[in-house]
Chains A and B, each alone.
Chain A
Amino acid sequence: MSQQTTDRETTTLMGAVTAPATHDLMNVLAIINEHAGLLADLLRFAKGEPVAPEQLEKGIKAIEAQVIRGRTLLTRLNSFAHATDLNPGPLDAGAAVSEMVQLSQRKFHAQLASPAPSHTASCDPMVFRLLIYRLLDAACDPSLAEGPCVTMALQDQTLLVTIQAQAPIELTEPLTRLADTIGATLTGSDNTLTLCLPK
């Protein structure tokens, strides 16, 4: 894959990841806005009656929960935005897989089945993320409510990322080539893709 093609594809990835994430942030603000508005309504329409403490507590808790949701999302987005600060590597590959699964949640509905192990690799951090995004895309069937399941494990200083889909996954040549460019290998059978990334 030429450098120009890779650059174009990673630029496309920036848009593909940030668009749904910013949409989610709009939803976070919209929920905070509605809860704050509801509290204001309760005071405004109370007509001298005190507002029930449970009602106030419910609104405050909902706002706090959305602040946590927004902060988590922004932390992931910030990590994604800084992905190219150190290129090439070292890349915390386990954390990068988690980040991509979570940032693309709205699109692929993928689930992490295990915590991310710490695995440092020397490869282009954005191409690695592009590969994970592509693998999730290949494993996602939009007609199904449930998305792919992602498992990570360490074996002999190699990170194994297994993506299990609900339907057969096609291991295409562009995916294999993309894995090659970062020194990873990709194997697949039926509903499963496995990515091996050495140290």
Chain B
Amino acid sequence: MSDLYELFASPFFGISLSVIAFWIGIRIQKKTGLVACNPLIIAIVLIVGVLLVFHIPYESYNVGGSLINLFLAPATACLAVSIYTRVELLKKNWLPILVGCAVGSVTSMGSVYGLCRLFRLDESITAALIPKSVTTPIAVSISGTHGGITSITVVAVILTGILGSILAPTLIRLFRVEDPMTAGLAIGACSHAVGTSKAIELGETEGAMSGLAIGMCGILTVVFSMLVM
């Protein structure tokens, strides 16, 4: 048996398990068509389940996991490509985009901080939650830099994204947002890439603007967090 457990520490185990779990997640989302069935959340739940049931230590899984983790920085860098392809849109509407993203980022960070104080959450959780409205790679970097528990950041970011994409149509009606650019930016500012997938469904302008907001709010949140944290 102990030989078998050594095999779990092979990088191939963690990678294969991750791919299979993610594949199942994608299948479930396609079948149900629900935003709440986020493939990433499903994959995380499945893997945590497998590790707990078979008493496989996290460290064994992470031998392969850390190799997948390696791709996070390059993937973040490539967000530049998605901004670059929309640079004309950015140039034309730079003022409303900048104002919206700045106000959105500050509001998000401020309201999270205020509520964390209200609920008396400790520092490592507060720092983990403050950047939760921006895209995961940037949120994780900010949280890590300021002593937050990064896995809680990941969970909060995804949760926020799912909430944003579910609530988006209701919020657009509730706050009477008629302009597609405004709607797209607001969705991107509060719920990053997961919200953007919903914004793309709403329309081309909404999608492009939401995508721009991901990058803008990401950078602005880094800057603001350096100033205050």
Tell me whether A and B are bound partners: no
Interface residues, chain A, with chain B CB atoms under 8 Å away? none
